[in-house]
Structures are given as C-alpha cells and as structure tokens.
Amino acid sequence: MRAFDYASPSTVTDALELARPGSAFLAGGTTLVDLMKLDVLTPDRVIDVNGLPLKGIRLHAGALRIGALERMSDVAAHPVVTATHPMISRALLLSASGQLRNMASIGGNLMQRTRCDYFRDVTSACNKRLPGSGCPALTGINRGHAVLGTSDACAATHASDVAVAFAALEAQVVLRSRDGDRTVPLEDFYLLPGRTPERENVLGPGELIAEVVVPALPWAQRNSTYLKIRDRQSYEFALTSVAAAVHLKRGVVQDVRLAAGGVGTKPWRLRAVEERLKGGVAMERTFADAAESAVDGARPLAHNAFKTSLLKRAIVRALLDAAGAR
C-alpha cells in the first residue's frame, strides 16, 4: 500500500474542504482498503468520514430516509425497514458476510467498485483503471460479466445487492458538496460504461452521498422479495438477482416494480417487463411471457450467455414468491 495523508474531520463542511483531486472518503473501508492494498486505488489523501453526522433511519413524510453512514447490518435489522421495506432488509442480509455487513456503510455499498478480476489485477489492461488500455474481459474469461448495458469498452457488472432493491423502489440519493445538496434518482446515479467506463456515477469532485431516500410503497410491504442466485450460498456475488414487488387486486397485476443485478453494468430496472405485466393475471405463464422482454438488447459474451435464460427464470420465480403464488 502506498503512503497517504489521513484526516478525520468532525463536520461535513470540514470533510468537503479537505477533499481534493486524488483524495478518497473512508467509511467502513471494506472496498477502499482492499483496493488500496492491491494498488488499484492509490489516493494521496484518505478522509475518514465516520465522525460525520450522516446517520439515522427514520420515516419522514412517508419516505424512508437512511443516512449514508448507517451500517448494512443495522439497516437490515431496523424495525422501520423490516416493516415498510422488507425487500431492502432481505437484499442486505444476502450481501457479503456478517462481519462485512457490520462494517460496511450504505453509502460505501452504493459506491463499491466492480469485482471484475481484470479491474482488480494491476498487471492486466482495464479501461476502468487505465482508460484506453483495453478490456480483456470481452474476449477472455467473462462468465461473471454483464449482458446488459455493456459497451465495446467494458462489460463489468455492478456488485451491490441493495442498490438493486433501491432501483426497484425508485430510491433517490442525496449528494452533498460545498455548493449544497442535490437529489438524484438512484437509477440515474450510475452511468453506463459507453466510451468512458472509468466514470461510474454522477458524483462530482469532492461530493459525497449523504442519505438515501426511499418513497413509500405500501403495497410492497407484503408482496415483495429479493432473489439472489449465486455459485454458493453465502459470501458470494450474484450471477443474477431480482428485486420484485407486485400489487394485486383479485389476482390481477395492478402495479409492479422489478430490477435485476448481476447481469448489468449498473442496477438494471426492468421497465419493459413491468409494462407487459400490468393488467395480467398473476400466474406463471403471464410472468414467463413478460420476462422475455428482460433480455431485449442483451449482448452475451463467450462464457455468460447462460445469464439471459437464468435472468428470465429468476424473474418468474421472484414474481411467484412476491405474489404468494408458490
């Protein structure tokens, strides 16, 4: 690990004043420290934000508000979260390990970097790490890579589970800088790789996540789930995952929210599937027909074509679970 300056401010204002090009904010450190040890990230200043007043889990005007420094395990167990948005709790509990959930923050989880082996290996080319150097994953080992939202420059998946649930629930992130706060829909917070895969989100220099705001969705309290399919039962990233919430009236879909993980370069909202489901009878055939739209525009690689059929089956299973039809 390379040498760096360390600062531990007690106010947000001080933290933002300390931020400069080449600096990094430190919360739980479960991603940042790993990547610093690998020389993938080499900040010259680390700003410890754990002393900042960016905590709290509460309902305000019907919306769930989660401070960026809340730990994943605390959010997953909080009675307000389990009562109003159980999908969030489930997504968190299926993430990482108990030890990591005790350390990792919500803001840090949303900011975590891809687990692409080429990105984490500084001896390999990687357009995220060194723009213009190439993407070996496109022709190399790519079983775990994305099939949606990819480009000729990058096919790395986004790793967060809870970001998928937030995307389905139309959450927003509050971003704070020296110019004040701005609120961005989580779906717009992440950027597709395009020709600039090194830029993964809309955060500006010196800006940080202050809070996540999740709108009220009363019908999702009972009819929602988060399904994660992976190679092993724990401490593993998703091959595919689905966040699903269904609003039914006499067995007919009135409204639905769907997002997928493990298959996209960012948390992938499945709007085309949602539209096909509305007004349909909640049954397996309806769900399967609608799920065909999930892979529109997919670009499978040599080793991950199975993800297209896996995603469609996962959508059906998640919808059956959410609708109580299993």
Q: What is the DSSP string of 29-85?
A: -TTHHHHHHTTS---SEEEE-TTSS---EEEETTEEEEETTSBHHHHHH-HHHHHH-
Query: Which of the 8 DSSP states describes residue 22?
Result: T
pLDDT digits (tens, 9 = 90+) for 238-278: 999 999 999 999 999 999 999 999 999 999 999 999 999 99
3 within some domain: yes
Please tell me the predicted confidence (pLDDT) of residue 6: 98
Within 8 A by CB and 6+ apart from 115, the residues are: 144, 157, 159, 237
pLDDT digits (tens, 9 = 90+) for 150-177: 999 999 999 999 999 999 999 999 999 9
How many structural domains compose the chain?
2
- Domain final residue, candidates 36, 51, 66: 51
182 within some domain: no
DSSP 237-292: --SEEEEEEEEEETTEEEEEEEEEESSBSS-EE-HHHHHHHTTSBSSHHHHHHHHG
17 within some domain: yes
Q: Is the pTM value of this prediction over 0.95?
A: yes
Instruction: Return the amino acid letter for 148.
Output: L
The tens place of each residue's pLDDT in the chain, 326 residues long, gives 899 999 999 999 999 999 999 999 999 999 999 999 999 999 999 999 999 999 999 999 999 999 999 999 999 999 999 999 999 999 999 999 999 999 999 999 999 999 999 999 999 999 999 999 999 999 999 999 999 999 999 999 999 999 999 999 999 999 999 999 999 999 999 999 999 999 999 999 999 999 999 999 999 999 999 999 999 988 899 999 999 999 999 999 999 999 999 999 999 999 999 999 999 999 999 999 999 999 999 999 999 999 999 999 999 999 999 999 65
What distance in Å separates the CA atoms of residue 99 and residue 120, rounded to the nearest whole number? 22
What distance in Å separates the CA atoms of residue 309 and residue 177, rounded to the nearest whole number? 42
134 within some domain: no
Assigned token pair, 13: 């204002």
Please tell me the predicted confidence (pLDDT) of residue 164: 98
120 within some domain: no
Give the structural domain span for 292. Answer: 221-323
Please tell me the predicted confidence (pLDDT) of residue 235: 87
Please tell me the predicted confidence (pLDDT) of residue 325: 65
Instruction: Return the amino acid letter for 76.
Output: A
Instruction: Return the amino acid letter for 249.
Output: K
Quick check: helix, strand or coil at residue 123? coil
Query: Which of the 8 DSSP states describes residue 105?
Result: B
Whichever domain contains 18, its CATH number is 3.30.43.10
Give me the helix-helix angle, 284-291 and 306-323, nearest 10°.
140
263 within some domain: yes
- State how far Cα 248 lies from the chain centre: 27
247 within some domain: yes
Whichever domain contains 240, its CATH number is 3.30.390.50
Give the angle subtended at the CA of 175 by the CAs of 174 and 177, to the nearest 5°. 145
233 within some domain: yes
